[in-house]
Amino acid sequence: GDSVTQMEGPVTLSEEAFLTINCTYTATGYPSLFWYVQYPGEGLQLLLKATKADDKGSNKGFEATYRKETTSFHLEKGSVQVSDSAVYFCALSRGNTLLVFGKGTRLSVIA
C-alpha cells in the first residue's frame, strides 16, 4: 500500500544552519506530495505541496522538489530560525480524498 518514510528525529540545529529532512514514498500512480508542520500545541498546517515530477513547492523559506526517479520529496531550508521548531510531516495523496502521513520529524532549533 501507499506509504511515506521520513527520517527519524529529533533533529537539533543551531540557528542559521541548513536543514534537510528526508522523505521517500511508495505509491501506485502519481500522488501529490505535501509537507505539513505542527507547532507546539497546535494542529497541522499545510506548509508546501507539489503535484507532479520536478515540481518544486516552496513557502516561508522552505522548499521541496518532487523527484519521481528517487521517489523522494526532501524538505530543505537554507537558514533555520528558533521559530521553525516544530514537527514536520511528509504526506502523499491517496485517491481524491485521503492523505497518507509519515511519522513526523521533530525539529529543535537552538539560539
In the complex, which residues of this chain contact another protein (CB under 8 A)?
Answer: 32, 34, 36, 41-46, 49, 51, 89, 93, 96-99, 101-104
CB of 82 to another protein, least distance (A): 22
CB-nearer residue toward another protein: 38 or 65: 38
CB of 44 to another protein, least distance (A): 5
CB-nearer residue toward another protein: 14 or 51: 51
Q: Which residues contact 85 (CB under 8 A, 6 or more apart)?
A: 40, 107, 108, 109
CB of 89 to another protein, least distance (A): 7
Which grid cell is 88? Answer: 514536520
Q: How far apart are CA 97 and CA 5, in angstroms?
A: 20
Which grid cell is 19? Answer: 536543514
CB-nearer residue toward another protein: 28 or 111: 28
Q: Which residues contact 21 (CB under 8 A, 6 or more apart)?
A: 6, 7, 11, 74, 75, 76, 88, 90, 105, 107
CB of 12 to another protein, least distance (A): 17
